[in-house]
Amino acid sequence: KPGEQKHSKEPSSLQCMHLAVVACGDRLEETLIMLKSAVLFSNRRLCFHIFAEDSLKPEFEKKLKEWPSSYTKKFEFNIYPITFSVGNAQEWKKLFKPCAAQRLFLPVILKDVDSLLYVDTDVLFLRPIDDIWHILKEFNSTQLAAMAPEHEIPKIGWYSRFARHPYYGTTGVNSGVMLMNLTRIRNTQFKNSMMPSGLTWEEMLYPLYQKYKNYITWGDQDLLNIIFYFNPECLYVFPCQWNYRPDHCMYGSNCKGAEEEGVSILHGNRGVYHDDKQPTFKALYEVIRDFPFEDNLFQSLYYPLQSKFLDTVHTLCGRIPQVFLKQIEKTMKKVYENRVIVYLGANHRY
């Protein structure tokens, strides 16, 4: 009936697309820009799960509440302390980058969350999260997580050349963007190299770390590669445009999916948002960082981006601007069209 409020039978956590990130040290700004890119383009409601050091919690709360209400109504957020349920907490905390191993414990901590997208702080969404969220429906009956390959070309991939431990497939996988069915992870007995019977996710983590700790270089990502080496049927591999890194263009363009569709998720690892080694990545980061929320997307985001890209054409990544611009242009057109339709609908007179 007109004016009657609709009530969904689903609890809010099921209506949400759940996004988790782990932020320690100096990663406050980077995390906020990542969350901003998620909110700018997504359609469905978002639930942010932010794992952060105690000193960062007040800043996250303050900054997120400063965003305009037209955007804050699109998400809810929870901030959690850094905790490790098994093994030595200090050992986990120092594994690779500060607190990065926290992601391994998400299935244990977020017991009421069915599915989740985990991303590193240095990720930027160039299209709605809704689109990667749909990949969950493509999982077959044994798949419980999705990641992109660490590299497309084995002869120049890190794992295929240097790894001293088991890893998934021919080039390993990169854990900076990881889609997870947490319910399946919690309910699965995983094959492993330590005992003939299966182990639960939580049972497996610390013994696995103890066994391989002298051989791992990339911390928790290496542990995930070891897990899925022994359980390859559990992993869905999504294409490189969903986790596009400098490696995909700094040695020549080697992500065919991005050439065809454009970059969907940009992953600025190697610190490229904060130095001048990959100005194309830095340009995208700075334009999203500086975008005023209520401004026109084309005028205040897309056009400045095009202008900044002109200064990067002398670099290998800068020579292929269409790879970076194609998807974000398409996304902004959709956002604009949706807003026009909503505006016209609200103001239509019969």
For the chain, domains (ranges, CATH) are 17-238 (3.90.550.10), 241-345 (no CATH)
Beta strand 46-52 pairing with 17-23: parallel
What is the residue whose two structure tokens read 């330590």? Answer: 194
The tens place of each residue's pLDDT in the chain, 350 residues long, gives 333 333 333 445 558 999 999 999 999 999 999 999 999 999 999 999 999 999 999 999 999 999 999 999 999 999 999 988 777 777 777 665 668 789 999 999 999 999 999 999 999 999 999 999 999 999 999 999 999 999 888 778 788 887 888 989 999 999 999 999 999 999 999 999 888 889 999 999 989 988 988 888 888 899 999 999 999 999 999 999 999 999 999 888 899 999 999 999 999 998 999 999 999 999 999 999 999 998 889 999 999 999 999 999 999 999 999 999 999 999 988 888 877 766 565 555 44
Residues 6+ apart with CB under 8 A from 276: 282
| pTM for this prediction | 0.91
Which structure tokens are listed for 155? 């002869």
Residues 6+ apart with CB under 8 A from 289: 29, 33, 36
Residues 6+ apart with CB under 8 A from 19: 35, 38, 46, 47, 48, 49, 116, 117, 118, 119, 129
CA gap 79, 60 in Å, rounded: 8
